[in-house]
């Protein structure tokens, strides 16, 4: 096989990068072992939620307070802005309008009733909580506990009360997952039967918080429709994986990439590269029964950090980059990987590949290693996407940067 | 300070030995109260590999222990089959292992009454397909797996049904003596935060590795040797039955499949204190590398956690110069000893039961209670070997049982813990029974034991606890969809389930630190992305909330009701390092 650009990885960075490169006219192949952090995220666009554990109000300004070597410093504020602008346009066109201001963070309500600082929110999660708030579960859904959510919200001074809405008769009377419920809510008839019970559950409230299950394959339309049937604004709370807002986004990317003629190899991990001097000539990936080699001009690694599959943490404390064998700074022993508190910070999360301003990997002396490889997203050293709340911002900012870099090295 | 309780016998220690003593006394019609500093089975009884010994491990060097083991192995299968997985065991001979040892092994087993069957390499591989290809031959023995939580629960329930009492979170803080007699035991009610005394005629010290501390409080010298053993938990079972190396016992020579996991054991190191349960990286690596010689797939397997336990070893009359730390404690006999402190130390009414092992707990209890009964003038004979335990009609535990239950009930969507197949109904019932601490749900239901290490089940269960508290506060809404947001949810006095969740996560984290690499590193970071990333928990509630968790339910008076329900003082488990802060006076 042959491609102009191979993008390895289909998480937030790989999807955005592949789309932007394809939009710029590159012929792209996406090689992915599986789903990435679209499915594991909170369903928002985090740019910079916390620095040093403290919530950030103005994410772009707060970039200055990040340590040296952070990906944001490499790509610059302009690329982050560009990434967010591009994303807003893309999401809007896909029927997944996001709202928010890159200059200012806003709170996203979670299933735990915490208010996580984020930047852009999909419309179904965007409404501010004020006045009386009903926290409503759909009866029988095991992944949402209104009492828990409302209790925490009250601690934040929000007048929240728990409630439960009955589900109409459907195919999954006995048990169901969030995905099944979201798919059911795609059906206008189901929504009409659901609305009266939900309306009773939220009666008297100015706004209702619900699990993020309001539709799967129809963008934000099921949410908007149900909201108008109920007559009360509905707010989707960040809910446990798989993230249904993330699934919606993934589907939108996939549709866009298909429309742009991008090819996919999904479910086949990349396991190595072929090289000629300082250039990668092909990517090796697992096929159904044999190793495949895909020849390429440019390789974009969007394989994620140690939480994804980009970096393997070895028993002896060393770290291995799994596709091109790029150097990654490890630890003296494996006790260095993690902090002493689970909810604290973990050094392993910030481990990654060091790159230059063009996102080309460099060695410990800062010298470029491979001339036609770029790294984006979670694979990059120097940031912890979870504790900083920077995952989507870094993904979009580095995708913007890689699009600009490769625009300067057109397809041959 | 009043004598809150008067009883005939105080049993100190809530491990399997103490609880077996309590049950033995109960069956003889003697009233007894058991006091335990934490919760049942939080010492050595909860920190071991789960092997129901056939005795074969001791057949070459310690035949007295071997005989005790095979006898009790048979007895426990009769009285407590529901706590046992009848999986058998193999002793495998690898290249380089000494065939002469194998001969001695077979002879030793025969002399100890342990049946063995020699299996060819091919037969051994048929039975255990993941065994190393170079296994030369194997011996089948009647090893098994035993669940000590379940055994403890059954024995305690039986004793309580017969009028005895179990007081957990009541560490002993001293004794009151009148001359050569103990008249009362002073305990600290860690939940109520006050001391009280239990008047008694007799005391049985069954504190295991901590028996020396109890002896010191009673004023009798008693030196225990703390023999630390490190164990490693793998994410799947690998083997159908127990697999042992057929060689002189050494580090990393046993694999015990238990529920959904396998436990690799173990080291044997003398340490200064039984509270030293730290785990070193080298210990973990050695367990894995050694056990991988028997089952190579373990080398690349997923490791969930590592923990250590302290063997309660007793060596009578320790020769001078042999009391230090660092030695291999395998040389100390695994048999047990009854100490009558009247003849030994001139303290009239106390016995200690020391040494031994989980497999022989019933026999240990019989031995000490026989001596005690004789002194008390109680003529009822011991019946613990014949009276079956509550739950025994269930028959042997089978690993596939939870899956069969889920299949039968079509309850996949009901699963709160997918790894251990714990359903919503089970959690709801346990919460209704008063278990509101996730740590108690874990020990009772195995919630959070599996490969994902509580990525999903812990927050789901925390949500169920919150919902239960809310519907208690608003009973008209209980169990039914509410129409309209009428109630205010849980009362402000209820413990914060989020803080409870954070505490649980931090406690579970300690035992994982030495085993995080490869896929388990990904798992840990994904879990972190859920709890810290999506749910935005910052862990800031943990230090402050330790006190809040002690809040008693509204209306409860100190000393009221079942103390096992007033939980939250401490969280135990396969934790690393920390023990001292558990029941400090408050």
Most A CBs within 10 Å: which of B300, B521, B524, B545, as the mutation test of the A interface? B521
ipTM: 0.97
B-chain residues within 8 Å CB-CB of A174?
Answer: 410, 413-414
From chain B residues 406-465, the ones with a CB under 8 A of any chain A CB are 410-414, 416, 424, 456, 459-460, 462-464
- Model confidence pLDDT, tens digit, residues A286-298: 988 899 999 999 9
Closest residue in A to B417 (Cα) is A142
**pLDDT for the residue numbered A288:** 85
Please judge whether A164 and B497 are an interchain contact, meaning their C-beta atoms are less than 8 angstroms apart.
Answer: no
Are residues B121 and B235 both part of a single domain? yes
Q: What is the nearest CA distance from B264 to chain A, expressed in angstroms?
A: 17
Are residues A160 and A259 both part of a single domain? no
Containing domain of residue A173, as a range?
Answer: 128-232
**pLDDT for the residue numbered B452:** 84
Q: Would you state the torsion angle of the CA atoms of residues B568, B357, B453, B156, taken in this order, to the nearest 10 degrees?
A: -40
Mean pLDDT score of chain A: 96
Are residues B354 and B485 both part of a single domain? no
Are residues B290 and B421 both part of a single domain? no
Mark which of B293, B314, B335 sits at the end of a domain: B314
Are residues A196 and A294 both part of a single domain? no
**pLDDT for the residue numbered B483:** 44
For residue A91, CA distances in Å to A99, A179, A227, A302, A402 come to 10, 21, 20, 20, 20
Domain count, chain A: 2
Are residues A263 and A381 both part of a single domain? yes
Q: Average of pLDDT values for A51-75?
A: 96
Domain assignment present for residue B23? The answer is yes
Residues of chain B with pLDDT under 70: 1-3, 317-329, 331, 474-494, 541-586
Instruction: Using a CB–CB cutoff of 8 Å, tell me whether B513 touches chain A.
Output: yes
Most B CBs within 10 Å: which of A106, A141, A343, A387, as the mutation test of the B interface? A343
Unique residue bearing structure tokens 């070893």: B313
Give the span between the Cα atoms of A2 and A295, in whole angstroms.
5
Q: What is the DSSP string of A249-303?
A: HHHHHHHHHHHTT-EEEET--EEEEEEETTEEEEEEEE-SSSEEEEEEEEEEE--
Please judge whether A41 and B533 are an interchain contact, meaning their C-beta atoms are less than 8 angstroms apart.
Answer: yes
Helix (H, G, I), strand (E, B) or coil at A84: helix
Instruction: Using a CB–CB cutoff of 8 Å, tell me whether B476 touches chain A.
Output: no
B-chain residues within 8 Å CB-CB of A139?
Answer: 481
Please judge whether B485 and A387 are an interchain contact, meaning their C-beta atoms are less than 8 angstroms apart.
Answer: no
Give the span between the Cα atoms of B302 and B288, in whole angstroms.
11
Please judge whether B535 and A112 are an interchain contact, meaning their C-beta atoms are less than 8 angstroms apart.
Answer: yes
Q: Which CATH number do you get for residue B279?
A: 3.30.9.10
- Partner residue facing B526 (CB), from A40, A111, A152: A40
Q: What is the nearest CA distance from A3 to chain B, expressed in angstroms?
A: 30
Closest residue in A to B460 (Cα) is A143
- Partner residue facing B517 (CB), from A142, A238, A313: A313
B-chain residues within 8 Å CB-CB of A347?
Answer: none
Give the span between the Cα atoms of B17 and B22, in whole angstroms.
9
- Partner residue facing A148 (CB), from B498, B513, B514: B498
**pLDDT for the residue numbered B450:** 82
Q: What is the nearest CA distance from B466 to chain A, expressed in angstroms?
A: 5
Estimate to the nearest angstrom the gap between the alpha carbon of A249 and the chain centroid. Answer: 9
Instruction: Using a CB–CB cutoff of 8 Å, tell me whether B280 touches chain A.
Output: no
Q: Which of B467, B414, B422, B465 is nearest to A137 (CA)?
A: B467
Mark which of A232, A263, A278 sits at the end of a domain: A232
Are residues B215 and B119 both part of a single domain? no
Mark which of B314, B335, B367 sits at the end of a domain: B314
A-chain residues within 8 Å CB-CB of B539?
Answer: 341-344
**pLDDT for the residue numbered A231:** 97
Are residues A185 and A291 both part of a single domain? no
Are residues B305 and B432 both part of a single domain? no
Most A CBs within 10 Å: which of B280, B284, B482, B545, as the mutation test of the A interface? B482
Are residues A69 and A34 both part of a single domain? yes
**pLDDT for the residue numbered B2:** 56
**pLDDT for the residue numbered B326:** 53
Q: Average of pLDDT values for A221-236?
A: 98
- Partner residue facing A337 (CB), from B466, B521, B530: B521
- Partner residue facing B460 (CB), from A40, A115, A142: A142
Helix (H, G, I), strand (E, B) or coil at A404: helix
Q: Which CATH number do you get for residue A64?
A: 3.50.50.60
Domain count, chain B: 3
Closest residue in B to A107 (Cα) is B536
Are residues A267 and A399 both part of a single domain? yes
Are residues A263 and A225 both part of a single domain? no
- The share of chain A scoring above pLDDT 70, in percent, equals 99
Please judge whether A200 and B467 are an interchain contact, meaning their C-beta atoms are less than 8 angstroms apart.
Answer: no
Please judge whether A386 and B532 are an interchain contact, meaning their C-beta atoms are less than 8 angstroms apart.
Answer: yes
SS3 for B229-263 is EEEEEECCCCCCCEEEECCCCCCCCEEEEECCEEE
Give the span between the Cα atoms of B279 and B271, in whole angstroms.
12
Give the span between the Cα atoms of A313 and A311, in whole angstroms.
6
Unique residue bearing structure tokens 């998480």: A11
Domain assignment present for residue B371? The answer is yes
Instruction: Using a CB–CB cutoff of 8 Å, tell me whether B502 touches chain A.
Output: yes
Mark which of A232, A262, A284 sits at the end of a domain: A232
Give the span between the Cα atoms of B495 and A402, in whole angstroms.
50
Q: What is the pTM of this model?
A: 0.89
**pLDDT for the residue numbered A202:** 97
Domain assignment present for residue B330? The answer is yes
Q: Strands B242-245, B89-93: parallel, antiparallel or unpaired by DSSP? A: parallel
Are residues B272 and B214 both part of a single domain? no
Domain assignment present for residue B79? The answer is no
Instruction: Using a CB–CB cutoff of 8 Å, tell me whether B486 touches chain A.
Output: yes
Containing domain of residue B127, as a range?
Answer: 84-143+227-314
Strand partners, B7: B200
Please judge whether A203 and B509 are an interchain contact, meaning their C-beta atoms are less than 8 angstroms apart.
Answer: no
Domain assignment present for residue B281? The answer is yes
Are residues B348 and B290 both part of a single domain? no
Please judge whether A200 and B484 are an interchain contact, meaning their C-beta atoms are less than 8 angstroms apart.
Answer: yes
Give the span between the Cα atoms of B329 and B325, in whole angstroms.
10
Most B CBs within 10 Å: which of A138, A162, A305, A342, as the mutation test of the B interface? A342
Are residues A216 and A260 both part of a single domain? no
Are residues B472 and B529 both part of a single domain? yes
Mark which of A232, A263, A288 sits at the end of a domain: A232
Query: A329 and A361 in contact (C-beta within 8 Å)?
Result: no
Give the span between the Cα atoms of A374 and A300, in whole angstroms.
5
Q: Which of A150, A156, A168, A255 is nearest to A207 (CA)?
A: A150
Helix (H, G, I), strand (E, B) or coil at B5: strand
């Amino acid at each position: 096989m042959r491609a102009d650009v191979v993008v390895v990885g289909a998480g937030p960075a790989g999807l955005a990068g592949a789309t932007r490169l394809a939009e710029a006219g590159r012929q792209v192949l996406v090689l992915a072992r599986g789903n990435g952090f679209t499915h594991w995220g909170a369903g928002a666009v985090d740019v910079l939620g916390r620095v040093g554990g403290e919530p950030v109000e103005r994410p772009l300004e707060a970039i200055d307070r990040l340590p040296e070597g952070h990906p944001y410093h490499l790509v610059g504020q302009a690329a982050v802005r560009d990434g967010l602008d591009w994303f807003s346009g893309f999401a809007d066109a896909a029927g997944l309008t996001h709202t928010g201001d890159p200059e200012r963070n806003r709170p996203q309500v979670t299933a735990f009733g915490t208010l996580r600082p984020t930047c852009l929110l999909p419309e179904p999660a965007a409404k501010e909580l004020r006045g009386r708030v009903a926290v409503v579960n759909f009866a029988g859904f095991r992944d949402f506990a209104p009492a828990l959510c409302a209790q925490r919200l009250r601690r934040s001074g929000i007048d929240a009360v728990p409630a439960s809405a009955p589900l109409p008769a459907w195919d999954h009377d006995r048990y169901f997952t969030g995905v099944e419920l979201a798919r059911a809510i795609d059906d206008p008839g189901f929504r009409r039967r659901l609305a009266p019970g939900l309306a009773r559950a939220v009666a008297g409230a100015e706004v209702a918080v619900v699990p993020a299950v309001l539709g799967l394959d129809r963008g934000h339309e099921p949410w908007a429709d149900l909201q108008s049937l109920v007559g009360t604004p509905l707010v989707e709370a960040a809910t446990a994986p798989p993230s249904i807002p993330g699934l919606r986004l993934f589907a939108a990317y996939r549709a866009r990439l298909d429309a742009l003629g991008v090819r996919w190899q999904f479910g086949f991990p990349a396991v190595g590269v072929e090289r000629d001097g300082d250039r990668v000539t092909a990517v090796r990936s697992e096929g159904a029964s044999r190793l495949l080699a895909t020849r390429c001009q440019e390789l974009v690694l969007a394989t994620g950090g140690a939480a994804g599959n980009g970096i393997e943490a070895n028993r002896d404390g060393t770290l291995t980059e799994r596709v091109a064998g790029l150097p990654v700074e490890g630890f003296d022993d494996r006790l260095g990987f993690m902090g002493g508190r689970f909810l604290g910070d973990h050094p392993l999360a910030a481990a990654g590949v060091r790159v230059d301003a063009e996102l080309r990997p460099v060695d410990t002396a800062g010298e470029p290693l491979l001339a036609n490889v770029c790294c984006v997203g979670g694979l990059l050293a120097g940031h912890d996407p979870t504790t900083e709340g920077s995952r989507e911002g870094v993904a979009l900012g580095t995708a913007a940067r890689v699009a600009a870099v490769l625009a300067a090295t057109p397809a041959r | 300070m009043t004598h809150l309780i008067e009883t005939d016998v105080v049993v100190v220690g809530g491990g399997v030995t103490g609880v077996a003593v309590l049950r033995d006394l109960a069956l003889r019609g003697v009233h007894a109260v058991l006091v335990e500093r934490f919760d049942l089975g939080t010492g050595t009884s909860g920190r071991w590999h789960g092997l129901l010994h056939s005795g074969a491990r001791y057949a070459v060097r310690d035949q007295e222990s071997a005989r005790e083991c095979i006898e009790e192995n048979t007895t426990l299968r009769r009285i407590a089959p529901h706590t046992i997985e009848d999986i058998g065991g193999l002793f495998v001979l690898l290249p380089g292992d000494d065939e002469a040892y194998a001969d001695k092994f077979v002879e030793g087993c025969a002399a100890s009454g342990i049946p063995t069957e020699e299996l060819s390499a091919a037969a051994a591989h048929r039975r255990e397909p993941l065994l190393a290809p170079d296994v030369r031959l194997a011996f089948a023995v009647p090893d098994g797996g035993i669940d000590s939580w379940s055994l403890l629960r059954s024995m305690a329930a039986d004793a309580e049904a017969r009028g005895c009492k179990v007081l957990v979170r009541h560490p002993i803080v001293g004794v009151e003596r009148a001359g050569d007699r103990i008249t009362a035991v002073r305990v600290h009610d860690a939940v109520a935060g006050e001391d009280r005394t239990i008047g008694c005629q007799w005391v049985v010290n069954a504190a295991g590795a901590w028996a020396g501390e109890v002896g010191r409080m009673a004023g009798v010298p008693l030196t225990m040797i703390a023999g630390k053993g490190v164990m490693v938990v793998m994410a799947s079972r690998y083997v159908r039955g127990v697999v042992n190396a057929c060689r002189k016992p050494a580090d990393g020579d046993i694999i015990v499949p238990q529920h959904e996991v396998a436990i690799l054991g173990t080291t044997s190191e003398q340490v200064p204190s039984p509270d030293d349960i730290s785990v070193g990286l080298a210990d973990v690596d050695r367990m894995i590398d050694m056990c991988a010689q028997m089952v190579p797939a373990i080398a690349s397997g997923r490791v969930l956690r590592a923990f250590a336990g302290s063997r309660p070893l007793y060596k009578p009359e320790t020769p001078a110069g042999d009391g230090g730390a660092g030695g291999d404690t395998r040389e100390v006999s695994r048999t047990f000893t009854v100490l009558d402190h009247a003849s030994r130390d001139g303290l009239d009414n106390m016995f200690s039961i020391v040494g031994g092992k989980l497999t022989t707990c019933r026999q240990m209890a019989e031995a000490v209670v026989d001596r005690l009964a004789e002194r008390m003038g109680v003529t009822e004979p011991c019946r613990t070997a014949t009276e079956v335990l509550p739950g025994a009609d269930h028959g042997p535990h089978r690993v596939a049982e939870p899956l069969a239950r889920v299949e039968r009930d079509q309850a996949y969507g009901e699963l709160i813990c997918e790894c251990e197949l714990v359903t919503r109904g089970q959690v709801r019932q346990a919460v209704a029974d008063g278990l509101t601490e996730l740590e108690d749900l874990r020990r009772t239901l195995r919630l959070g034991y599996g490969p994902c290490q509580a990525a999903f089940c812990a927050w789901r269960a925390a949500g169920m606890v919150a919902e239960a508290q809310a519907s208690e506060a608003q009973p008209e809404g209980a169990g039914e969809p509410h129409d309209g947001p009428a109630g205010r949810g849980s009362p402000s006095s209820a413990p914060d389930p989020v803080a409870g969740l954070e505490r649980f996560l931090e406690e579970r984290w300690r035992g994982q630190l030495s085993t995080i690499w490869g896929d388990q590193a990904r798992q840990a970071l994904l879990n972190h992305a859920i709890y810290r990333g999506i749910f935005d928990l910052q862990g800031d509630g943990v230090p402050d909330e330790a006190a809040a968790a002690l809040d008693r339910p509204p209306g409860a008076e100190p000393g009221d009701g079942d103390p096992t329900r007033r939980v939250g003082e401490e969280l135990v488990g396969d934790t690393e390092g920390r023990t001292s802060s558990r029941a400090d006076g408050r």
